[in-house]
Amino acid sequence: MSPFDVYPLFDIEIVRGKGCRVWDSAGTEYLDLYGGHAVISVGHCHPHYVAAVSEQLNKLGFYSNSVHNSLQQQLAEKLGRASGYEDYSLFLINSGAEANENALKLASFHNGKGRVLAFKKAFHGRTSAAVRVTDNPAIQAPVNRGMEVSYLPFNDAGRVEDELRKGDVSSVIIEGIQGVGGIIVPDDSFLQALRKLCTRYGACLILDEIQSGYGRTGRFFAHQWAGIRPDLITVAKGIANGFPMGGLLISPEFKPVYGQLGTTFGGNHLACAAAIAVLDIMEKEQLVANAASVGTYLLDALRGLPGLKELRGRGLMIGLEFEQPIKEIRNRLLFEQKVFTGVAGANTIRLLPPLCLSREEAAEAVGRIRKSLA
Ligand SMILES: Cc1ncc(COP(=O)(O)O)c(C=O)c1O
């Protein structure tokens, strides 16, 4: 047997990491401006993280959700304090798609309605409801097409109200900043309008903060730039620095019903130990503030690069859209300049480095990006 060949791969194997650097099997060092797809939040192999996960593994790796697990309580309290959502509840799962799946389901249980409003270029994951609200028919199989979804233009509150007025919408789901779509930042006024409209028409507002959350934009959640409070917030990726985990933050208006949601692995002891370590490191090293200041420095330094059509983003979530396709630039960055980056569509490079990226590393990154454009 061999792995299902569903990913186009670079011919590189990463075998070691430290902070914002990784090394391949030949010993070559790379600057990681991608964080393994926005997953590495506190840096590769942070000593406190390694110690916390190792210590937990030596005590207990797993037991089921049918008994108390005080690590879940500890994590919920810490996350509530760090995010400003102390009055919300936390449901833990194993991935971003699962977080959105449960958010859509909980919203529908709550208000008894079935239609969902999503946005053009949205990406919410690959499980059945999550992929259905993802604006990409190429990754929706016929079995995914059951749920009723309308994809609306971004930043058009009038169109959202037209749909909500029909009275059948259960939830509106939106990314804090669209990631896969190309680092598209919603207008603050659009998020504020969504909040008001959802309340007025009895729909739940779901903020997918899987890529944009957990400090990445220089606030704990990207939607906090707009000063709104969604009904449901989904998190994953950086939450446990690479240990598979997702979370759903649930406003107090939702009452839990035994058995309505459930999971075997969600919130397991190892994942909680990893996620608690992440929040401890974020607090001690002030990584949200670091993402804000290093992100501002990076955005300023990247402005005016040759061939750059548009620079978008907030904090350490940055999109560089070029006039021409970026495949060659990205290859030069990886194979000549030894820098990992992400991509969105044909023309946009995505930067999603660990939140601990230093000013010096950011300056080095800009230098290497410039060289790849020469
Ligand atoms: C905004 C957003 N939502 C959901 C997901 C899905 O997360 P996962 O791959 O952990 O299921 C992703 C992953 O890229 C994402 O960027």
**For range 316-340, the mean pLDDT:** 97
Asked whether residue 158 falls in the same domain as residue 270, the answer is yes
Domain that includes residue 269, residue range: 50-284
- The answer for residues whose C-beta is within 8 angstroms of residue 234's C-beta and 6 or more apart is 96, 99, 100, 103, 206, 207, 208, 209, 210, 246, 247, 248, 249
Centre a 10 Å sphere on the Cβ of residue 359 and count the other Cβ atoms it contains.
13
Same domain assignment for residues 322 and 272: no
With a pLDDT cut of 70, the percent of the chain lying above it is 100
Tell whether ligand 1 has an atom less than 6 A from the beta carbon of residue 222: no
| Residue 163 beta carbon below 6 angstroms from any ligand 1 atom | no
Label the pairing between strands 21-24 and 29-32: antiparallel
Question: How much distance in Å is there from the Cα of 92 to the middle of ligand 1?
Answer: 15
Answer yes or no: is 308 within a domain: yes
pLDDT category of residue 203 using cuts at 50, 70 and 90: very high
Q: What is the CATH number of the domain that holds 349?
A: 3.90.1150.10
Mark which of 250, 269, 284 sits at the end of a domain: 284
Instruction: Report the DSSP beta bridge partners of residue 17.
Output: 22
Q: Which of 92, 237, 241, 243 to probe ligand 1 with, by most ligand atoms within 8 A of CB?
A: 237
| Sheet strands side by side (includes 308-314) | 308-314, 317-322, 348-351, 342-344
Within this chain, do residues 120 and 28 fall inside the same structural domain, yes or no? Answer: no
219 lines ligand 1 (CB under 6 A): no
Ligand 1 in reach of 212 Cβ (< 6 A)? no
Q: Answer with the one of 252, 284, 316 that is the final residue of a domain.
A: 284
HEC sequence for 1-47: CCCCCCCCCCCCCEEEEEECEEEECCCCEEEECCHHHHCCCCCECCH
Residues 92 and 215 in one domain: yes
Task: Judge contact between 106 and 261, C-beta under 8 A.
Answer: yes
Cα 133 to ligand 1 centre (Å): 12
pLDDT at 356: 98
Same domain assignment for residues 35 and 59: no
Helices 327-335/359-373 angle, 10° precision: 120
**Ligand 1: distance of its center to the CA of 130 in Å?**
9
User: In angstroms, rounded to a whole number, what is the distance separating the alpha carbons of residues 343 and 321?
Assistant: 10
**Is the CB of residue 94 below 6 angstroms from any atom belonging to ligand 1?**
no
Is the residue at 3 inside a domain? no
C-beta separation of 243 from 204 below 8 A: no
Mutation pick for ligand 1 pocket among 124, 209, 217 (CB with most ligand atoms within 8 Å): 124
Task: Please check whether residues 294 and 307 belong to one and the same domain.
Answer: yes
Query: Is residue 216 within 6 Å of ligand 1 at its C-beta?
Result: no
- Check the CA dihedral 135-209-128-147 and report its sign: negative
Nearest ligand 1 atom to the CA of 175 is: 1
Tens digit of pLDDT for each residue in 242-296? 999 999 999 999 999 999 999 999 999 999 999 999 999 999 999 999 999 999 9
For CA atoms 352, 353, 358, 364, the dihedral sign is negative
Question: Furthest-apart CA pair in the chain: how many Å?
Answer: 60
Instruction: Let me know if residue 269 belongs to a domain.
Output: yes
Same domain for 179 and 305, yes or no, is no
For the whole model, what pTM was predicted?
0.98
CATH assignment of the domain containing 174: 3.40.640.10
The reply to whether 337 falls in a domain is yes
Both 144 and 185 in one domain: the answer is: yes
The pick from 123, 131, 154, 178 for probing ligand 1's pocket by mutation, whose C-beta has the most ligand atoms within 8 angstroms, reads: 123
**Residue 169 located in a structural domain:** yes
Note whether residue 8 is domain-resident.
Answer: no
168 closest CA partner among 206, 111, 208, 110: 111
Q: Would you state the pLDDT for residue 253?
A: 97
Rounded distance from Cα 16 to ligand 1 centre (Å): 24
End position of a domain, from candidates 232, 254, 284: 284
Question: Is the CB of 133 inside a 6 Å radius of any atom of ligand 1?
Answer: no
Q: What is the mean pLDDT of residues 60-76?
A: 97
Same domain, 63 and 189: yes
Pair (121, 160) in one structural domain: yes
DSSP letters along 236-305, please? Answer: -GGGGTTS--EEEEE-TTSPP-TTSS--SSTT-HHHHHHHHHHHHHHHHTTHHHHHHHHHHHHHHHHTT-
pLDDT tens column, 12-30? 999 999 999 999 999 999 9
For the chain, what is the mean pLDDT?
Answer: 97
CA of 155 to the centre of ligand 1 (A): 21
Write out pLDDT tens, residues 69-100.
Answer: 999 999 999 999 999 999 999 999 999 999 99
Whether residue 305 is found in the same domain as residue 254: no
Neighbours of 18 (CB within 10 A): 14
Q: Do 31 and 62 fall within a single domain?
A: no
Nearest-atom index, ligand 1, CA of 178:
1
The pLDDT of residue 227 is 98
Our count of domains for the chain comes to 2
**245 touches ligand 1 (CB under 6 Å):** no
* 14 backbone dihedrals φ, ψ, rounded to 5°: -90, 125
Q: Is 101 close to ligand 1, i.e. is its CB under 6 Å away?
A: no
pLDDT of residue 251: 98
Q: Is residue 189 part of a domain?
A: yes
107: in domain? yes
